[in-house]
Amino acid sequence: MPDTTHTPQDARAHPNVASVDQSDRTVPVNLRQSGSTPVQMLISTRVRKSPFWHLSVESGCWRATVYNRMYHPRGYVRPEDGGAMAEYDALVNRVTLWNVAVERQIRVRGPDAEAFVDFVITRDATGIEPMHGKYAILCNEAGGILNDPVLLRLAEDEFWFSLSDSDLMFWLQGVNVGRRFDVEIAEIDVSPVQIQGPLSEDLLVSLVGDAIRDVPYYGLMEAEIGGCAVVISQTGFSGEKGYEVFLRDATLNAEALWYAIRGAGARFGLRVIAPAHHRRIAAGILSWGQDMDAETSPFQVNLAYQVPREKTGDYIGKAALERQRAAIDEGGYPFRRKLVGMTLGGRPITDYAPDFWLLSDLDGARVGYLTSPWWSPELGTNIALGYVPWEMSGIGTQLRAELPEAYCESSGKPVDATICEVPFRPSAHPSARERASAAGRDWAE
């Protein structure tokens, strides 16, 4: 492999797939196609087990990954019994329970909590009322996305960052070295589960009463389930109606909460499943580390609405993001690639992709890659998120996708790929982009 260590940054392209230009990255995404990795994951003490880990195993978990340095269940139904698509059926038709304790909860509390949070996120924290939350992003000084948590405001002086897959606590603590802000920043003993699916509200009514029906999207409610103190938010990672239940003193109470939910859920057809990436792709929900990372700008991944023009105060990354926005306003595009949605030919992709599968133009030149492909039963086709050159990102653009042999229609031949609108199908709670589009406005304004 060519040594690119000392190659000028503006001349660099990925050494494995040179035509997929990633010269605007310091550490290009690894496009080497390694295929599946049929190895056993070592369970050791250096990777944390959540309070729900043994309960997931008891519920049939047969495979896992590592997320936020914790073991993360990624499959309950065996392939011979329908696999991930059987889990999908339970999600879209009934109700499901997910162990998402890997979403570590980092609490920022103190007199300057609002000012601190407003400084580290790109959107306006002052507009978040107590007992409400917002989806938020945090960027570094170059405008790269460090994390995209659900941000919960429990009180005037208390926020919880419900993290995606990057350890943000050290960053937050580092930002406040020297105590610029009068806050305490620490992980707390709170672990969430998600209850997702069209029957999720009815299930929670049976657990906490009719008050849950009055909780708005991104609203919070204090309650008890199985004698355990919880915070419930109407949020989730699926695009379906759903809630997250944040268990206080989770190391002590995990079993009581889990069995209470499973017991009440039996009459609703509750199924324990893994986080539904097949459904979140259809909803256009992004996964940090897969669809974006610390070298990705929000303007590349349809998150421009997270960088409001009207936020007047300073925040980390503001200068870089405003330069990027100015370039786009002037008709330019300061990045090599843009994230788009697309439909794909080929046989149904019914499991996680182990690689960033490659995209080529109609002449066969490799120009981009897929980040999140899956089969959509409702649309009857494969769908995906992926990166392409800006000039090839228009709706209707035709490409080719190099899928593994198992998914190809003809041996060794790429399948058709067509860039399309995102989301692929309606969500229970339309995103800011969906609402803007329906109103005839530019969601990026």
**CA 374/CA 243 separation, integer angstroms:** 24
Is residue 365 domain-resident?
A: yes
pLDDT of residue 178: 86
Residue 35 above 90 pLDDT? no
Does residue 214 sit within a domain?
no
- Residue 14: the pLDDT is 54
* Bind-site residues: 244
Q: Considering the domain boundaries, does residue 412 fall inside one?
A: yes
What average pLDDT does range 272-296 have in this prediction?
Answer: 96
Per-residue pLDDT of 408-442, as tens digits, reads 988 889 999 999 999 998 877 765 556 555 554 44
pLDDT band with cut points at 50, 70 and 90 for residue 368:
very high
Task: Write the pLDDT tens digit of every residue in 80-119.
Answer: 999 999 999 999 999 999 999 999 999 999 999 999 999 9
* Number of compact structural domains in the chain: 1
Is residue 307, in this structure, part of any structural domain at all?
yes
Would you place residue 3 in the very low, low, confident or very high pLDDT band (cuts 50, 70, 90)?
very low
Residue 1's pLDDT is 35
Quick: pLDDT tens for 50-77. Answer: 999 999 999 999 999 999 999 999 999 9
Q: Identify which has the larger pLDDT, 382 or 444.
A: 382
Q: Which pLDDT belongs to residue 286?
A: 97
Q: How far is CA 229 from CA 18, 129, 135, 205, 325, in A?
A: 54, 21, 24, 16, 44
Q: Is the pLDDT of residue 22 over 60?
A: yes
Asked, for residue 323, whether it belongs to a domain, the answer is yes
| Domain that includes residue 350, residue range | 288-438
Lowest-confidence range among 36-50, 170-184, 366-380? 36-50
In this prediction, residue 314 carries a pLDDT of 95
Q: CB-hemisphere CA count at 13 Å for 34?
A: 8
Strand blocks (E) in 78-196: 96-99, 105-109, 132-135, 138-139, 145-147, 150-155, 158-162, 184-187, 190-196
146 found inside a domain: no
Residue 212 has pLDDT above 70, yes or no: yes
Strands 63-67 and 150-155 come out as unpaired
Confidence of residue 374 (pLDDT cuts 50, 70, 90): very high
User: pLDDT of 295-324, one tens digit each?
Assistant: 999 999 999 999 999 998 999 999 999 999
User: Which residues sit in the known binding site for substrate?
Assistant: 244
Asked if the bond preceding 8 is cis, omega within 30° of 0, the reply is: no
The CATH number linked to 314 is: 3.30.1360.120
147 located within any domain: no
What's the CA angle centered on 223, arms 217 and 225, to 5 degrees? Answer: 110
Average pLDDT estimate for 387-391: 96
Q: Does residue 25 fall inside a structural domain?
A: no
Q: pTM of the prediction?
A: 0.93
